[in-house]
Chain A
Amino acid sequence: MTKVVTDVVCPFCGTLCDDLAITVSDDGKQIIDCQNACAIGAEKFLHTSAGHGRITRPRKRQPDGSYKEITYDEAIEYTAQMLAKAKKTLWYGWASTSCEAMAVGHKVAEKAGTMVDNCATVCHGSSLLAIQDVGVPSCTLGEVKNRADRVVFWGCNPAHAHPRHMSRYSIFPRGFFTTKGHKGRKIIVVDCRYTDTAKCADEFIQIDQSYDYEVLDAFRTVARGHDIPDVVGGVPKEKIIKAVETLKEGRFGVIFFGMGLTHTLGRNHNIDIAINLTRDLNDFTKFSIVAMRGHWNVTGSGQVLSWQYGFPYCVDLTRRTHARYQPGDTSSVDLLRRKEVDACICIASDIGAHFPIEATRHMAQIPSVCIDPHINLTTEISDVHIPVALVGVEVAGCAYRMDNVPMACRKVVDPPEGMLTDEELLEKVYVRLCEIMGDS
């Protein structure tokens, strides 16, 4: 008899849908079906049983470029020796593992005096900078579902990146005060191209690429009752005035924003002016702003780092006595690009797929370890690849949703025989590192 595990949290995107039903085989080893998830979420569960090139033991790169299987003990030895020897190790990733594993990893990082950075550095790090500069009036997705009647998507495309966001929270659901669902909401999409999300919008505002800051400034200027030029960033004045009126007339509004703001010209300033627009709109009605965080637990990494060191990413632990922070200096891409680190560990993320080529190239030239359940672009340029069990599918753990709500991810099947989890692996690295480094 198969059994169905309910209320499973999907460990794929920052929406962290918590209503999945997974059918597993008798012996608890195979996933047979996945219900309620979107296509990408379902794939995360189903591929584990399909045996898609999953490797179950660490591998070490040989002089001829090929990889040879090694034992976990050998991989742990290599990692600990590398950490003990390097003057400055970059430890990047964390976004696809549990908060519990992060806490163990940070213990190792503190001992070795490394840099600790997560995917926010190439994603919503600029949002975090803006929040540090001007604060943030935010809310949970539950509030959006139950209250929001004005929803703005600025520079984000949930139809592709967070497929169930619109149906669970932001556009379609009926909630306590939003009994009419989609009909009761006014949706405004601002983007430089007509996206699939824009197809659901009541108002689509197409702006010239990288003119977000100027257009947001125009929104603020209009909200304060001043005049603006006839066209700003390709948008006619009348359209901006009408949009501001629509937002002011709502009872509860929310702005969702994504990479279109965080990684176009100006970066953090685009977010800080969007936050300030949200603040301005609170003079007229209730307004909130929420970042569309990408990786399922990138928010959790920010939470754990902030809780432990006071900074959400780009944390410099080299002084050991205190943490330091300055994106631009302590950020992964800059550290690699400037050749400022002499070793690198990539965990639960993919440098090879996400970083600029000059940064990736330096990573390939220094001693490196990649800890990831799968083969990815980074494992193929790392000296050692250590596969681990898949968190959220084969291991339980805590993760934070994009609105900073913690969720308990469940274990639905066993990992392949003899595979270590992130936590177990990192604990073993810690023990070995302490033996090598002593009390230093």
Chain B
Amino acid sequence: MKTVTITMKNVPDLYLEGDMITPDQFAGKTNEEIAALRTYEGRETYCLGDNFEISGDAVGATPAETKIIVKGDCTKVKYIGMNMTAGEVVVEGSCDMYTGGWMKGGKLHVKGNVDSFSGLGMEGGEFTVDGNAGNFIGASYRGDWRGMQGGVLRVKGNVGSDIGTFMNGGTLIVEGNADVHIGTHAEGGTIIIKGNANRRIGGQMVKGTIYVYGDITYMMPGFQYTKDVELEVDGDKAVFAEYIGDLGERHSKSKGQVVYGKIYRKK
């Protein structure tokens, strides 16, 4: 795997749309060609080289052989790693919205924080955030019924509200706390909250699983306790109380049995 490093030299006045910062766009290009990739700031178009210093050996021939290291202040750069299918991106600091949006494969590692809509509609790959993340992590684009569909999205800090909205696959792990609306309208997938979860967990959930290790401020009235079960979740073994729901929502049948969404609350 070949590595190219891009370092922020001119922080944009407004916000930069950096959707070309992916192994897919970089692969097979010379450093000059990478510097010439088009970026947007408001309605104006610029080149990646206007804001970033490009260095390192030439990138790999294919996305899978390409690794990008992003350095400098990228808190005003949106869309890093959007639509990436393979290869690796490491962001040394924090970046803005839509990081890893609609990601399909490869590895994306942000060492700082990410803002809202990161991992939006994610389909595959591994996305890790060492810091905190904003709202709508692993959710769907507005009006879309497909939230996160595959892959593993891990946030080591806290997240905001509305994570995993319309999620129907993949695994979303939050090692810190999560705010309101977790897995709303979920039709599949797994959400693990290792800290505390605020209210409205699994509202209008059709299918899927949510594990909560810490406190739940208020349980949705449409969920009903069934039994205690012993489970191994993300390497941790514990006893969980199982709830099924949302009983206010439609549910399909499989082999004559109604399929519910499930919340497991650590005891």
Where the two chains meet, the residues of A that have a C-beta atom closer than 8 Å to any C-beta of B are: 86-88, 112-114, 129, 132-133, 213-214, 217-221, 223-224, 226-229, 232, 265-266, 269, 272-273, 276, 280, 318-320, 325-329, 338-342
By the criterion CB–CB under 8 Å, are B14 and A342 in contact?
yes
List A contacts of B246 (CB < 8 A). Answer: 217, 221
A265 contacts across to B, CB distance below 8 A: 180, 199
- How far apart are the CA atoms of A223 and B248 in the complex, in Å? 8
Inside 8 A of B135's CB, which chain A residues have their CB? 328
Nearest CB of chain B from residue A217's CB, rounded to whole Å? 5
A-B contacts, 17 listed (Cβ < 8 Å)? A88-B41, A88-B43, A114-B43, A129-B143, A133-B166, A217-B203, A218-B248, A224-B247, A224-B248, A232-B221, A265-B199, A273-B248, A320-B43, A326-B117, A328-B116, A341-B42, A342-B13
Which B residues lie within 8 Å of A226 (CB)?
Answer: 222, 224, 247-248
Query: Assuming A86-B42, A129-B142, A328-B116, is B248 touching A217 (CB within 8 A)?
Result: yes
Query: Which residues in window 9-34 of B have CB below 8 A to A?
Result: 13-15
Complex Cα–Cα for A342 and B15 (A): 11
Known: A328-B116, A341-B42. 14 other contacts (CB 8 A): A112-B43, A129-B143, A133-B143, A133-B166, A218-B248, A221-B246, A224-B248, A226-B248, A269-B162, A269-B203, A273-B203, A273-B248, A276-B249, A325-B142
Q: Is B185 an interface residue (CB 8 A)?
A: yes
A69 to B150, CA, bound (A): 61
Q: Which of the listed residues B14, B40, B117, B135 has the most CB atoms from chain A within 10 Å of its own CB?
A: B14
Partner among B13, B116, B181, B218 whose Cβ is within 8 Å of the Cβ of A269: B181
Contact among A214, A221, A318, A328 with B40 in the assembled complex (CB-CB below 8 Å): A318
Contact between B15 and A338, CB atoms less than 8 A apart: yes
Give complex CA distance A418, B14 in Å.
Answer: 39
A273 touches B204 (CB 8 A): yes
Give the number of residues in B that approach A within 8 Å (Cβ atoms): 38
How far, in whole Å, are A377 and B104 apart by their CA atoms in the complex? 48
CA distance A265 to B180 in the complex (A): 8
> Which 9 pairs between the two chains have the least Cβ-Cβ distance?
A88-B42, A220-B248, A87-B42, A132-B143, A113-B43, A221-B248, A318-B43, A226-B247, A218-B221
Indicate the member of B200, B222, B249 with the most A CB atoms within 10 Å. B222
Of all chain A residues, the one with the shortest Cβ separation from B45 is A319
Residues of B179-199 contacting chain A, CB below 8 A: 180-181, 184-185, 199
| Cα A224 to Cα B222 with chains together (Å) | 10
**Complex contacts, B143 vs chain A, CB 8 Å:** 129, 132-133
Residue in chain A with minimal CB distance to B120:
A326
B141 near A326: Cβ-Cβ < 8 Å: yes
Complex: how many Å from CA A70 to CA B143? 46
Quote the shortest CB–CB distance from B136 to chain A (angstroms): 7
Q: Which residues of B contact A (CB under 8 A)?
A: 13-15, 40-44, 78, 97-98, 116-117, 135-136, 141-143, 145, 162, 166, 180-181, 184-185, 199-200, 203-204, 218, 220-222, 224, 246-249
Partner of B41, one of A87, A213, A272, A329: A87
Instruction: Give the residues in chain A near B41, CB-CB below 8 Å.
Output: 87-88
C-alpha gap A134/B243 in the complex (Å): 25
- Give the docked Cα–Cα distance between A340 and B115 (Å): 14
With a cutoff of 8 Å between Cβ atoms, the chain A residues found around residue B218 in the complex are 214
Is A276 a contact partner of B204 (Cβ separation < 8 A)?
A: yes
Contact B221 A214 (CB under 8 A): yes
Across-interface contacts of A129 in B (CB, < 8 A)? 142-143
Across-interface contacts of A213 in B (CB, < 8 A): 200, 203
**How many A-B contacts at CB < 8 Å in the complex?**
110
B142 to chain A, nearest CB (A): 6
Whether A272 pairs with B204 at a CB distance below 8 angstroms is: yes
Give min CB distance, A434 to chain B, whole Å. 16
Closest residue on chain B to residue A232 by CB atoms = B221
**CA of A266 to CA of B136 in the docked complex: distance in angstroms?**
12
Chain A residues contacting B145 (CB-CB under 8 Å) are: 133
Distance in Å: Cβ of B221 to nearest Cβ of chain A: 4
**Pair B43/A87 contact, Cβ less than 8 Å:** yes
- Measured CB to CB, the closest approach of chain A to B95, in angstroms, equals 14
Which residue of chain B lies nearest to A225 when distances are taken between CB atoms in the complex? B247
A286 → chain B, closest Cβ, in Å?
A: 20
Q: Which residue of A lies closest to B219 (CB)?
A: A229
Residues in chain B near residue A340, CB distance under 8 A: 14-15
B247 close to A221 (CB less than 8 A): yes
- A296 vs B249: C-alpha distance when bound (angstroms): 35
B42 CB to nearest A CB, Å: 3
Q: Which partner residue on chain A sits nearest B251 by CB separation? A: A224
A269 touching B40 by the CB < 8 A rule? no
Cβ–Cβ contact A329 & B43, under 8 A: no
A87 to chain B: closest residue by CB? B42
In the assembled complex, which residues on chain A have CB atoms less than 8 Å from the CB atom of B200? 213-214, 266, 269
Rounded to whole Å, the gap between the CB of A338 and the closest CB of chain B is 7
Pick the residue among A221, A266, A269 that contacts B222 (CB under 8 A): A221
Q: How far is the CB of A413 from chain B (nearest CB, A)?
A: 40
Are the CB atoms of B44 and A87 closer together than 8 Å? Answer: yes
Instruction: Name the contact of B224 in the complex, choosing from A218, A220, A227, A327 (C-beta under 8 A).
Output: A227
Contact between A326 and B181 (Cβ–Cβ < 8 Å)?
Answer: no
Across the interface, which residues of A come within 8 angstroms of B185, CB to CB? 133, 272
The reply to whether A228 and B204 form a contact with Cβ atoms under 8 Å apart is no
A221 to B98, CA, bound (A): 35
* In the complex, chain B residues whose CB is within 8 Å of the CB of A319: 40, 43
Cα–Cα, bound, A229→B243 (Å): 13
Q: How far is the CA of A272 from the CA of B181 in the complex (A)?
A: 13
**B97, B166, B204: the one within 8 Å of A329 (CB):** B97
Considering the chains assembled together, what is the distance between the CA atoms of A217 and B221 in angstroms? 7
Whether B44 pairs with A266 at a CB distance below 8 angstroms is no
User: Across the interface, which residues of A come within 8 angstroms of B42, CB to CB?
Assistant: 86-88, 113, 318, 341-342
Please indicate the chain B residues that have their CB under 8 angstroms from the CB of A219 in the complex.
248
Q: Which of B43, B143, B221 has the most CB of A within 10 A?
A: B221
